[in-house]
Amino acid sequence: MDIGHSPQHINRRHLLGVITAALAAGVIPEAWLAEAAYGATPRWNRPFDKWVPITSSFGSRTDPITGETKYHAGTDYSYSGILGYPIRSIAAGTVTSAAYSASGYGNYVVITHADGWQSLYGHMRDTPVVRTGAQVAAGQQVGVVGTTGRSTGPHLHLEVFRPNGSLVDPESILTGAPYAGAPGSPPEVLTKDGLMYLIWSTSGTGFLVTPNRVIGFRTLAHYNLFKRIINSNQAAAQPDTFNLAEIDIINAYLNGTVPA
């Protein structure tokens, strides 16, 4: 296969499969340099774009409805007036459930992240704004705070599952994470597929490869711009910043218009 062809002539699934298999085997085709790929652990951000207090922590607690001592599988976040406030995905991923449970989570969403991590967002006021199968970006809105299901007042109930399915205290991974959409973060749309490979061929052609698309770069400068974005996503503690001209270039590629 000649990867020097225009991106629209590339079999996307085949190309991604070849790259993935090569990386897994530790053998990179001579013509390609795989410079960046998402790691096994998602890049986390907090579920809101500002600080929201914890009203009930993960672990044993007094059940607010029955008064019994029970295990609380997640963390609750709330404050006076939070009803209707946007809830954000804590990492990029795929929506694997968007449903309603009258006796449990009410309106809720489950998102599967890199390497099988999952997050659950419960008690939303309305039907989730994302649907099953949708690709979501880190920090993307998935619904609004409500009090549906088994709830005594408006709050977000957040659960996080390890790849093996076991529960983990959400705050054990979110402490110190940036707010959703924090200034200086990489453009969130670039994380929506949850997996990327940045490729530069020896023939002088670059590609951004994701499960859903292959984007061909016009210049090495454009390739390096996307390289900065991926590197920044992998170093959320010190994210890079992007000026308006760079954002215009990024959006042009993502909208299918190759910039000059």
Q: Domain-by-domain residue ranges, the chain?
A: 11-40, 54-172, 185-259
Where does the pLDDT of residue 96 fall: very low under 50, low under 70, confident under 90, or very high at 90 and above?
A: very high
Question: What one-character DSSP code corresponds to residue 221?
Answer: H
Looking at 47-51, 100-104, 172-176, 177-181, which range is the least confident one?
Answer: 177-181
Where does the pLDDT of residue 17 fall: very low under 50, low under 70, confident under 90, or very high at 90 and above?
A: low
Where does the pLDDT of residue 238 fall: very low under 50, low under 70, confident under 90, or very high at 90 and above?
A: low
Highest mean pLDDT among 38-47, 140-149, 204-213: 140-149
Nearest Cα to 156, choosing from 88, 202, 97?
88
| Residue 190 token pair | 């670039």
| CB of 139 closer than 8 Å to CB of 96 | no
Q: Torsion over CA of 9, 230, 234 and 74, rounded to 10 degrees?
A: -60
pLDDT digits (tens, 9 = 90+) for 19-50: 556 555 655 443 344 443 444 467 788 999 99
Where does the pLDDT of residue 229 fall: very low under 50, low under 70, confident under 90, or very high at 90 and above?
A: confident
Say which amino acid occupies 56: S
Q: Torsion over CA of 136, 124, 163 and 169, rounded to 10 degrees?
A: 120
The kind and range of the H/E element at 34 are strand 32-37
Q: What is the mean pLDDT of residues 65-82?
A: 88
Fold of 54-172: Glucose Permease (Domain IIA) (2.70.70)
Q: What is the mean pLDDT of residues 106-111?
A: 96
- Specify whether the backbone of 116 is left (phi greater than 0), alpha (psi in -120 to 50) or beta: left
Give the Cα-Cα-Cα angle 63, 65, 95 (nearest 5 degrees).
75
Distance, CA of 246 to CA of 190 (rounded, Å): 13
The β-bridge partners of 13 are none
The proportion of the chain whose per-residue pLDDT surpasses 70, expressed as a percent, equals: 67
> What integer pLDDT is reported at residue 241 of this predicted model?
75
Average pLDDT, the chain: 76
| Residue 79 token pair | 């404050």
Burial of 38 (0-12, 13-18, 19+ CB in 10 A): buried
The β-bridge partners of 199 are 34, 207
Distance, CA of 132 to CA of 112 (rounded, Å): 11
> What integer pLDDT is reported at residue 45 of this predicted model?
87
Distance, CA of 208 to CA of 258 (rounded, Å): 13
Question: What one-character DSSP code corresponds to residue 185?
Answer: P
Distance, CA of 250 to CA of 260 (rounded, Å): 12
Q: What is the mean pLDDT of residues 233-242?
A: 62
Where does the pLDDT of residue 51 fall: very low under 50, low under 70, confident under 90, or very high at 90 and above?
A: very high
Distance, CA of 257 to CA of 254 (rounded, Å): 7
pLDDT digits (tens, 9 = 90+) for 116-127: 889 999 999 999
The proportion of the chain whose per-residue pLDDT surpasses 90, expressed as a percent, equals: 32
